[in-house]
Amino acid sequence: MVRPVKNIVIVGGGTAGWLTAGVIAAKHRARQSTGFTVTLVESPTTPIIGVGEGTWPTLRTTLAKIGVSETDFFRECDAAFKQGAKFARWTTGEPDDAYYHPLVLPQSFGQINLAPHWLAGDASGSFCDAVCPQGRLCDEGLGPKTITAPPYQGAANYAYHLDAGKFAPFLQRHCCDKLGVRHVLADVRGVALAENGDIRAVVTEQAGEIEGDLFVDCTGFRSLLLGETLGVKFRDCGDILFCDTALAVQIPYERPDSPIATHTISTAQSAGWIWDIGLPSRRGTGHVYSSRHISDDEAERELRAYLGPAGKDLTVRKIAIRSGHRETFWKRNCVAVGLAAGFLEPLEASAIVLIELSAKLIAEQMPTCREVMDIVASRFNATTHYRWGRIIDFLKLHYVLSQRTDTAFWRDNRDPATIPERLSDLLLLWRHQPPWLHEEFDRADEVFPSASYQYVLYGMGFRTEVEAAALADEAALAQRALRENALQSERLLSSLPKHRDLIRKIVEHGLQPV
């Protein structure tokens, strides 16, 4: 007897639970008339972690697909634009040490790799400024679009900064009001298994048993379903990524009209780094560090020194970080999303994008019946394992390339024993040929494109040996691309509004629907 998969039960709310609910419900909305349901069970007493404020450009597509108004999103989530990340003091630790990882591809990226041409030239100025306009837009505090641009479209690629504490309730209202998601406020007190080992139901205090065909574990670090109930172990990667603690604090602006940074700022410290994210009403900041290399008190002193007098009396919240992920992500009829699947330090804002990618994969490959679920799970696990591995590689890259020797933290990060083998091989390869559209980036489920590696490598002073004579055939095309980038940069610098002014106009007047 074929057992159809029609009742999806998501356990846990927050960004992970509500994004997943929205993506699945929107994708399968037409099936609701035939009995397909999405139920989200959420504790009325458990608070969300609520510090994930950085996103990727993918969120624009996700919000558009589930029917969210970009204007409403800005009005209700204290949102701002994000055009990339600025890394300060990561390479040498000196005051003038900084580079950008922007969100746009280098000029003419599909036609030519500008990296070797930049390297073969005088390489004056930054690689980012030579090949794209976005670093300069960030320097000038400009938004990525004008108020007349349609929703989710811009002159430059962009993501968002947002208030995670407001984002989850915003998604909840949209999912329940517009997408038919059933919301159950109840504390889960147990999990009932079927004879075959599947999860049959979650047992709640207020709503009794809630049965389902597929369960999505969004219960945070606890991983109640996949970890505790089905026994999937956690794979720690603290031997690669050392940061295991964060101190978070919210700081008000000096003035209501203070500029809002249009990028995440990541400033390296003695044993970690400080994030700084600008929202319209405040800045979200925090210190991510390795407790093996610095005490909590010392880490807090570094954070307060960064904040200056304005942060003197602010309350700091301590959050434990366990870098790593579950050994498998989908077992039997349970799949984990968000912190229940794992967590890595928020250096490149990978937490929310992993939620999006997982939710999209579940929705697109939703098994029609239990008989095919294990096949779908196997494919999901292969893709998701690959994605986690590549994110770990990319985060470690920032530490490996550092030239800092002032503390044990930076020296230990370059110990070959702490560097994944794949990353070591790629670094050797890139000494002789720059990353581009080669075999190392040939998978459709690649998380970071080769352009991202270029921005970090050449932003941090990495050198690839290039033979100028071998570039002669492309020299004219390269020069045209570099000139076009310079012209485009000037056009955008003269036409785009200041970031705060743009957000104010969106909130007051709204973006015009297409």
pLDDT higher than threshold 90 for residue 123: no
Q: Are 67 and 49 in contact (CB under 8 A)?
A: no
Q: Where are the domains of the chain?
A: 7-53+163-234+323-390, 244-320
For 405: left if phi > 0, alpha if psi spans -120 to 50, otherwise beta; the answer is alpha
pLDDT higher than threshold 70 for residue 94: yes
Q: Are 147 and 509 in contact (CB under 8 A)?
A: yes
For 89: left if phi > 0, alpha if psi spans -120 to 50, otherwise beta; the answer is left
Determine which one of 6, 27, 82, 396 is catalytic.
82
- The set of residues, in sequence order, having a beta carbon less than 8 Å from that of 387 and lying 6+ positions away, is 354, 357, 445, 447
Name the pTM for this structure: 0.96
Per-residue pLDDT of 154-198, as tens digits, reads 999 999 999 999 999 999 999 999 999 999 999 999 999 999 999
Q: Which position has the token pair 């794979």?
A: 235
- Identify the architecture of domain 7-53+163-234+323-390 in CATH: 3-Layer(bba) Sandwich (3.50)
Confidence of residue 49 (pLDDT cuts 50, 70, 90): low
| Catalytic annotation present for 498 | no
- The set of residues, in sequence order, having a beta carbon less than 8 Å from that of 297 and lying 6+ positions away, is none
**Residue range 244-320, CATH number:** 3.30.9.10
pLDDT higher than threshold 70 for residue 443: no
Which percentage of the chain shows pLDDT scores above 70? Answer: 97
Q: Give the span between the Cα atoms of 245 and 299, in whole angstroms.
A: 10
**Residues 306-323, mean pLDDT to the nearest whole number:** 93
- The separation between the first and the last C-alpha atoms of the chain, rounded to the nearest angstrom, is 48
| Mean per-residue pLDDT of the chain | 95
Q: What is the CA radius of gyration of the chain?
A: 23
